[in-house]
């Protein structure tokens, strides 16, 4: 299904919840597939971990420090994290937990546990389980990898604060569907629903 057709379908489905939601979705416009990620999975996961519970600006600043340190050491970022003392990682702005999570991801990568080709052939549930088994990777981080790295179409990150607040406001405008039933209207494309909601939240003053 092309993105224009998908968009029109989303607008129609959103109208079942509220006209205001349908208008908000329509203003976002058609969404294509997320851009294909080219970096190693370990690097992508490390970036997501770094950005957890931080503003975009703060996360970008810390990530930039890490990248500069890795480049100066002539290492990939996972290799740099594996060979660097936790205190030095913390000096880049990471918390102790995040520094240890990056080291754990680097170790998993070195052991072949983050080979994207191996994970791609797993079912969605098995892939999430494999990611959740990694130290420092929680449900939100695993879902972001599933949605943006593996480009799965039906990931519903209900624990994401922005998704839950934004969708909750629209769901509250009607009484026909509760929160979960309203989200189910968009299956099997709830990844698109989440992306529409992020766009709507970013556009809301």
Cis before 188? omega within 30: yes
Mean of the per-residue pLDDT values of the chain: 93
Assess whether pLDDT exceeds 80 at residue 204.
no
Please report the pLDDT score of residue 84 as a whole number. 87
Considering only CA atoms, give the Rg of the chain: 19
The pLDDT-based confidence of 95 (bands split at 50, 70, 90) is very high
Assess whether pLDDT exceeds 80 at residue 1.
no
Taking residue 183's Cβ as centre, other Cβ atoms within 10 Å add up to 20
pLDDT in tens, 149-184: 999 999 999 999 999 999 999 999 999 999 999 999
Contacts of 18 (CB under 8 A, 6+ apart): 170, 173, 174
Assess whether pLDDT exceeds 70 at residue 104.
yes
Q: pLDDT over 90 for what percent of the chain?
A: 79
Whole-number Cα distances in Å, 202 to 34, 99, 144, 163, 179:
17, 29, 18, 11, 21
The structural domains of the chain, with segments of one domain joined by +, span 3-34+161-203, 41-149
Please report the pLDDT score of residue 205 as a whole number. 67
The SS3 call for residue 123 is coil
pLDDT in tens, 112-147: 999 988 999 999 999 999 999 998 899 999 999 999
pLDDT in tens, 39-90: 999 999 999 999 888 888 999 999 999 999 999 989 888 888 988 888 989 9
Taking residue 47's Cβ as centre, other Cβ atoms within 10 Å add up to 18
Fold of 41-149: Endonuclease III; domain 1 (1.10.340)
């Amino acid at each position: 299904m092309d993105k224009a057709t998908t968009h029109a379908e989303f607008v129609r489905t959103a109208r079942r919840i509220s006209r205001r939601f349908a208008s908000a979705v329509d203003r976002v416009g058609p969404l294509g597939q997320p851009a294909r990620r080219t970096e190693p999975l370990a690097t992508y996961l490390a970036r997501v971990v770094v950005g957890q519970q931080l503003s975009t600006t703060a996360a970008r600043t810390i990530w930039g420090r890490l990248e500069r340190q890795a480049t100066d050491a002539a290492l990939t970022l996972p290799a740099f994290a594996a060979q660097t003392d936790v205190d030095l990682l913390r000096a880049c702005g990471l918390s102790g937990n995040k520094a240890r999570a990056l080291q754990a991801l680097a170790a998993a990568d070195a052991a072949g546990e983050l080979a994207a080709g191996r994970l791609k052939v797993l079912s969605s549930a098995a892939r999430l389980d494999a990611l959740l088994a990694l130290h420092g990777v929680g449900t939100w981080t695993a879902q972001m990898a599933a949605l943006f790295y593996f480009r799965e179409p039906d990931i519903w990150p209900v624990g994401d604060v922005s998704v839950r607040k934004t969708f909750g406001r629209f769901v509250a405008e009607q009484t026909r569907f509760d929160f979960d039933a309203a989200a189910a209207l968009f299956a099997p494309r709830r990844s698109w629903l989440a992306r529409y909601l992020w766009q709507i939240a970013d556009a809301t003053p």
